[in-house]
Chain A
């Protein structure tokens, strides 16, 4: 989907932006997007309504009534997420929502994590991507069960998708469910999936100030994995600055420096997972919402 204006829900490519926004104009059949989506017929500027039009407008206004809604836009997702959370608690499963930008190394990190947990903690994986089942196939190659969700044009997983996907996965008590979200540091922040924790992965090939640029995601996460640390000798990446940026946004965030390739920090990450699965399996009410 186009990141300039968000258009492209019909599968268009970004090529149309070379000449401004003709695609947007065609779809809207109206002016530039504004703070309000005005669609009235008498709203042309610089034009005075005729007496007849005013009478019609007054007549229409007389039939209007106000209806109170007072509901959150995320109410439905939050209800589905609460249902997922109850299901995870009843099953005694520790569930994590892994979020990052594309290319941070989520899937490789996941594969290496699964290898380390083999024979120790039963786990299953839900993979979210716009297209292809490549990632689920990479997970299945390790022997772990995986379900792929393709969001099509969607830029994040939502709670209903996860609720549907988990029905086809074996979830063992004391086990772990890893949900790899669509690579995107913006949209997945708002959508609770029912997970115990969001884990944000930042790689050292990105900018140190990413937590400040995308604060919602780093604020929503409980743990940050700083990945690809084996590359630090070749980069001008200031680890302390990156961690300070993350803590500026979220003073309580826990940070583990890792490298899926060299194994750095993987023991600490695996122990964090083991502690979480043990707690979830032992106390099935532990993750119930307050």
Chain B
């Protein structure tokens, strides 16, 4: 359940922003979660609700924006969508694609008042 640690990290980032930007209530939190990251969106939503209690983000809606996985073949240069982190190059099938997109986990922005 590392999603709980990640949710707590998100809350810490949000609280830092609250001090910096002088807001006291968060209505919407938008996070970008890569399809190849180690995060299960449902578990993150569940953990976020728990971790946000008693903070300025309590009751906020969490919008998770999925970022699709994408990789590049080191052998032939082919770029392709990736379902798993070890998908082979669909053209030359030599080695797993090198992941170039879809592993990130970011707090993108907030709607606050």
Contacts and interface: CB of A to CB of B under 8 A. Distances in A.
B112 A64 contact: yes
Contacts of B50: 9, 27
Nearest to A188: B2
B109 A67 contact: yes
Given A39-B59, A69-B109, A5 B46 contact: yes
Interface in B43-69: 43, 45-50, 59-64
Interface string B1-39: 111111001101110010001010001000100000010
Interface stretch (A153-161, A162-170, A273-281): A153-161
Interface of A: 1, 5-6, 9, 27-28, 33-40, 60, 63-77, 154-156, 158, 186-187, 189-191, 212, 215-216, 219, 248-251
Contacts of A60: 27, 113
B1 A6 contact: yes
Contacts of A154: 5
B10 A36 contact: no
A69 B110 contact: yes
Contacts, number: 136
A155 B112 CA distance: 32
Nearest to A64: B111
B107 interface: yes
B49 A39 contact: yes
B104 A6 contact: no
Contact of B23 (A33, A67, A216, A250): A67
A66 B111 contact: yes
Nearest to A35: B41
A77 B61 contact: no
18 contacts: A1-B1, A5-B43, A36-B61, A37-B46, A37-B61, A39-B61, A65-B23, A69-B106, A70-B106, A72-B106, A73-B13, A74-B9, A76-B13, A154-B5, A191-B5, A248-B96, A249-B86, A249-B96
B109 A70 contact: yes
B85 A35 contact: no
Contacts of B105: 72-74
B95 interface: yes
B110 A67 contact: yes
Most buried by A among B3, B5, B31, B111: B5
A187 B2 contact: yes
Contacts of B109: 66-70
Indicate the size class of the contact surface on chain B: 35 or more
Most buried by A among B31, B96, B108: B96
A238 B1 CA distance: 31
Contact of A156 (B5, B95, B96, B107): B5
A186 B2 contact: yes
Given A37-B62, A248-B96, A251-B96, A6 B107 contact: no
A155 B6 CA distance: 12
B89 to A, nearest CB: 12
Most buried by B among A27, A67, A187, A212: A67
B39 to A, nearest CB: 8
A9 B53 CA distance: 14
A27 B7 CA distance: 17
Given A186-B2, A251-B96, 16 more contacts: A6-B4, A36-B62, A39-B60, A40-B59, A60-B113, A66-B111, A70-B108, A73-B106, A76-B12, A76-B13, A156-B5, A187-B38, A215-B86, A216-B85, A219-B85, A249-B86
Most buried by B among A27, A77, A189, A190: A190
Most buried by A among B2, B31, B46: B2
A72 B23 CA distance: 21
